[in-house]
Amino acid sequence: MRNDILRFATAGSVDDGKSTLIGRLLYDSKSIFEDQLDAVERTSAARGEEYTNLALLTDGLRAEREQGITIDVAYRYFATPKRTFIIADTPGHIQYTRNMVTGASTADLAIILVDARKGLQEQSRRHAFLTTLLQVPHLVLAVNKMDLVGYDQARFEEIKAEFADFAAKLDAPDLTFVPISALHGDNVVGRSENMPWYSGPSLLHHLENVHIASDRNLIDARFPVQYVIRPHKSADPELHDYRGYAGQLAGGVLKPGDEVVHLPSGLSTRISKILTADGDVAEAFAPMSVTLLLEDEIDISRGDMICRPNNTPTASQDIEAMVCWMTDARKLTPRSKLIVKHTTRTAKVMVKDLRYRLDVNTLHRDEQADHLALNEIGRVRLRSTQPLFVDEYSRNRQTGGFILIDESTNATVGAGMVVRAD
Amino acid sequence: MGQASQQAPGRYQLSQLDVLEAEAIFIMREVAAEFERPVLLFSGGKDSIVMLRLAEKAFWPGAVPFPVMHVDTGHNFPEVIDFRDRRVAEAGVRLVVASVQEQIDAGKVVESTGRWASRNRLQTAALLEAIEDHGFDAAFGGARRDEEKARAKERVFSFRDEFGQWDPKNQRPELWSVYNTRIARGEHIRVFPISNWTELDVWAYIQRERLELPSIYFAHERSVFERDGILLADSPLIARDDTEVPFTETVRYRTVGDLTCTGAVKSTAVELDDIIAEIAATRITERGQTRADDRASEAAMEDRKREGYF
């Protein structure tokens, strides 16, 4: 079990062959079990479908099977000898933008599927934009159904050039293009003999080898305090004064002896020990869950942040962020009051200003917009009741991302990515 | 963190089990910090054994800050109940038993009859009543997304209304690791810290942590009979018809649940290594192989979950 984990999101509609692709990855890596396949075959046959409908494997809800579409994110798991994979299979339709945003938020890589016959569609551009907005570090454009265009290199190059043009306008990360046929398996697991002109890796080979270790921020030490461990009732006298600050590193590296700064107090101390139930740790780094013991007694509680001197997040009550609105029950408007949850800290916020609404298909900025409705994205200024300890989302997805909660319904109504804080 | 974190190829590289463990510990601490009365569902099965271990590690050297609860159908494997009591005492946590038998005796639920009689569905009523009686606002479950297609769609923090129902079409978006823990009185959240683990991860973790398991997980001789391709224990709790003739077989259990609907598998695996090799090679899912309750319909799990099942 020495594998690392790659989390990837797939975007594209059923018509683009997304479910077929996932089905093939699962099937060829022997991650579909016989009883699952039996069930799908039985259902397919009962509905009079000509082929075994692999979408039935991923569309797990009754409503999805009835409507033949993916509504919500489904998580799938498979492993090869090289890596373990978590797939967030996200719906492609515009009315499920929030679900795609959800799936992309934790992804190391996103695969956007394009039908080689149709080329780039409005939704391909939208998927690419959302992927870069969520700062998914690696993007793969899989040009599918190459068999239906005669495995034509020129067609592939044309789509590739068009997409590269568009991606240049985005803050596009590492970009890879693979021509595939999910139905026939060309360039999915093994290299295709039908496309000798393609010299790149198969899709699975790329997934197995793409370098993700350096995607984590190991520079800026960020330790949001999650829980204070105080075993006061313990019979062990050594534990009477124990005060451990438990949490998961959101970035950087911490070592015993390091000088650290506590926010919001600004007080400094040193780390005396870093503990886990398995014993002391010489270094802690993201995403380890550890407990810090500090040399001095400082009043520290949940929602506080421990970081290094000269490298602290911005402590601010004024946040500017890109917000994706996720409810149809109400709209985001200036003066809306909401609850923000950012790392382990919860506060109230008021929307000060909607700078603009972004058209997710054309990237046009509408500065006249006075609200965001469901699935709309815009740049928003927020004022919070307490300082939040934020980084730009492009620098750290953990300390740059937050959710917005409706105070009366408790629903999660928005997701935000910090652009700047004053 | 295990040894792996120190020797992994890259200096700042964690193994898959370390990443999954760190995620689960984060989730458990989040619940302990934000809810008033959490409870951990503990059946004595392998997933709940992993969960209890994770809870011990999350709050060490402090005690686990919540009780555990067993939803007891009364149709138990005695080996599992012995194990449950021993493990709970060792962990020093309080055990709450939500008893299906008591619900039946009190006339609150009616047992189904016939060949397919099972108390599986009745667990939901016992679970929901216990959650209400004890005022639990969060219940940890050991469900994994790889188990079943409805579970693959469920959030880590899964909201339940005042009737304990899950609404799969109206789930809260869940981004990064920022979990919305807010609920109104009478509602609760089911929390699944090992959502992202696979069956093989669970076994690898049991091996790495040297966790004790009930003996029925290992190969043993047992009197069984076959029903619809599933080997059920020959027990007074299950009515056999004349064609269902018991025979002795060397078996083990891949999952542990209610005795009347949990099947055994033929196996000679007596060590953890053997079990891991067997799981790695199998071509059938654990629920497909061993759970009669999932065979009711294609959406059996979704339907039960909507009603409040775990």
User: Over the range A96-135, which residues count as b (16 or more CB within 10 Å of their CB) and which as e?
Assistant: bbbbbbbbbbbbbbbbbbbbbeeebbebbbbbbbbbbbbb
Alpha carbons A75 and B195: distance in angstroms, whole number: 9
Give the distance from CA A183 to its chain's centroid: 28
Could B178 and A342 be called an inter-chain contact, meaning their C-beta atoms sit closer than 8 Å?
yes
Could B284 and A79 be called an inter-chain contact, meaning their C-beta atoms sit closer than 8 Å?
no
A-B contacts at Cβ under 8 angstroms? 202
- The distance of A261 to chain B (nearest Cα, Å) reads 22
Q: Which residues of chain A neighbour B9 with C-beta distances below 8 Å?
A: 2
The average pLDDT across B17-22 equals 96
Q: Are A222 and A396 in contact (CB under 8 A)?
A: yes
Could A289 and B25 be called an inter-chain contact, meaning their C-beta atoms sit closer than 8 Å?
yes
* Residue A323 β-bridge partners: A378, A416
Q: Read off the pTM.
A: 0.92
pLDDT in tens, A153-168: 999 999 999 999 888 8
Statement: residue B286 has pLDDT above 90: no
pLDDT in tens, B68-118: 999 998 888 899 999 999 999 999 999 999 988 888 888 888 887 776 677
Task: Name which of B92, B47, B90, B99 is nearest B70 in CA terms.
Answer: B99
What percent of chain A is modeled with pLDDT above 70? 93
Q: Which residues of chain A neighbour B148 with C-beta distances below 8 Å?
A: 60
Statement: residue A206 has pLDDT above 90: yes
Q: Which residues of chain B neighbour A301 with C-beta distances below 8 Å?
A: none
Q: Structure tokens of A327?
A: 């409810």
Statement: residue A373 has pLDDT above 80: yes
- pLDDT at site B115: 67
Q: Which of A3, A278, A403 sits opposite B1 (nearest CB)?
A: A278
Could B152 and A234 be called an inter-chain contact, meaning their C-beta atoms sit closer than 8 Å?
no
Could A403 and B145 be called an inter-chain contact, meaning their C-beta atoms sit closer than 8 Å?
no
Q: Mutate one of A276, A301, A375 to test the B interface: name it (highest B CB count within 10 A).
A: A276
- The distance of A152 to chain B (nearest Cα, Å) reads 37
Q: Structure tokens of B289?
A: 């192989």
The average pLDDT across B24-52 equals 97
Q: Which of A236, A247, A405 sits opposite B180 (nearest CB)?
A: A405
Q: Are A12 and A114 in contact (CB under 8 A)?
A: yes
Q: Identify the band that residue A38 occupies on the pLDDT scale cut at 50, 70 and 90.
A: confident
Q: Which of A1, A74, A341 sits opposite B153 (nearest CB)?
A: A74
| Residue in A with minimal Cα distance to B200 | A1
What percent of chain A is modeled with pLDDT above 90? 65
Q: Are B254 and B214 in contact (CB under 8 A)?
A: no
| Residue in B with minimal Cα distance to A282 | B6
Statement: residue A323 has pLDDT above 90: yes
Could B298 and A342 be called an inter-chain contact, meaning their C-beta atoms sit closer than 8 Å?
no
- pLDDT at site B148: 78
Task: Name which of A249, A248, A250, A251 is nearest A217 in CA terms.
Answer: A251
Mean pLDDT check: name the lowest of A18-27, B234-243, B261-270: A18-27
Could A36 and B2 be called an inter-chain contact, meaning their C-beta atoms sit closer than 8 Å?
no
Question: Domains of chain A, with CATH numbers?
Answer: 5-215 (3.40.50.300), 222-307 (2.40.30.10), 314-421 (2.40.30.10)
